[in-house]
Amino acid sequence: MLSYRHHFHAGNVSDVFKHAVLTRLLVALGRKDKPYQVLDTHAGIGLYDLDHPWSRKTEEWRKGIGRIFDRPGAPALLQPYLDAVLAENPDGQLRHYPGSPRIARRLMRATDRLVLCELNKDDCAALKAVFSGARHTAIHNQDGFQSLRAFLPPKERRGLTFVDAAFDQADEFGRIVRAAKEAHARFATGMVALWYPLMAPSAMEAFARSLRAAGLPKTLQLELSVHPENFSDHIRGSGMIVINPPFGLEREAAPLLEWLWQALSPEGRGGTRCEWLVQE
Ligand SMILES: C[S@@+](CC[C@H](N)C(=O)[O-])C[C@H]1O[C@@H](n2cnc3c(N)ncnc32)[C@H](O)[C@@H]1O
């Protein structure tokens, strides 16, 4: 059963964090001339109207992109992300928020291929409408976990697999660990990014243990939280596991996350993490 609809959450703290990191991965891929593939296994609808009743119901974006959009002093590392948001709001008024497919396509070159999977039929139709006529962009109404088998390795032998699961089912942590293993087994040199919500510390330790035991290559763990560890009302923040991260990501991520945290946690709660989960 698919209950999750991203429109309720678009532009929130987790989106800002995950999309800011995503842009750094894409900037790095774009440094070499050779084309690459991005496989976005859980794509969503691509573009969100923050005035839609579902966004208005939660207003989660106000504590996310709402705190970043006009904030002075953003580091240059954040500019590709801010440019992607600004591109959807050319009059400078924040109304639309781009999802990962839209952000990726913006940073990708014409020859780079974007493969999008979205299991929800209505969301997939909306995604197709957003990308109508877009070149080198394929959209599939299929299970993102199964798509690893269909689309990896890419013919370009370069690329990023982004697994942004909905976490609306039991054992989603187990599923993303299995996805990481499968993506790596099929495409050993590929970059993989897994998003996850920050849950109870014991659950997070078990997740880290299972990733360490998975036989993965160099893996960086990034996190940003805006609530303390014992916060249980809703998620306190989120993280991204980056397998085969681009050279220098750990140096970029620390100041980038610090700036984001200062902006997103005016009360000074939570914090950031940038650590090797698996060293070379
Ligand atoms: C967190 S949202 C994705 C947001 C998107 N990646 C972004 O950053 O803009 C998760 C999406 O996965 C979809 N979904 C849930 N289970 C799925 C599955 N097994 N395969 C593919 N998509 C799935 C949901 O309908 C939802 O749109």
pLDDT tens-place string over residues 186-204: 999 999 999 999 998 999 9
* Token output for 129: 């409408």
- Residue 99 scores a pLDDT above 90: yes
Q: pLDDT digit string (tens) for 106-140?
A: 999 999 999 999 999 999 999 999 999 999 999 99
Average pLDDT over residues 168-182: 95
Nearest atom (ligand 1) to Cα of 41: 21
Task: Output DSSP code: residue 257.
Answer: H
Pocket of ligand 1 (CB under 6 A): 2, 4, 6, 40-44, 99-100, 117-120, 123, 143-145, 164, 166
Question: CB under 8 Å to 247, separation ≥6 — which residues?
Answer: 28
Query: 192 near 163, Cβ under 8 Å?
Result: yes
Q: Rounded to the nearest whole angstrom, what is the distance from the C-alpha of residue 143 to the centroid of ligand 1?
A: 9
Query: 222 near 239, Cβ under 8 Å?
Result: yes
Neighbour tally for 33: CB within 10 Å:
7
Q: Which residues are catalytic?
A: 164
Q: Is 192 left (phi over 0), alpha (psi -120 to 50) or beta?
A: beta
CA distance 245 to 197: 20
What does the angle CA 169 – CA 58 – CA 222 come to, to the nearest 5 degrees? 55
CATH of domain 6-278: 3.40.50.150
170 falls in which pLDDT band (50, 70, 90)? confident
Q: pLDDT digit string (tens) for 213-226?
A: 999 999 999 999 99
Nearest atom (ligand 1) to Cα of 166: 10
Alpha-helical runs (H) found in 37-160: 53-58, 65-68, 79-87, 100-107, 121-130, 144-151
In this structure, the residue with its CA closest to atom 25 of ligand 1 is: 120
Distance of CA 248 to the CA centre of its chain: 19
Percent helix, strand, coil in the chain, to 5, is 40, 20, 40
Q: Rounded to the nearest whole angstrom, what is the distance from the C-alpha of residue 120 to the centroid of ligand 1?
A: 8
Query: 147 near 183, Cβ under 8 Å?
Result: no
- Residue 232 scores a pLDDT above 90: no
Total number of residues shown for the chain: 280
Pairing of strands 219-225, 271-278: antiparallel
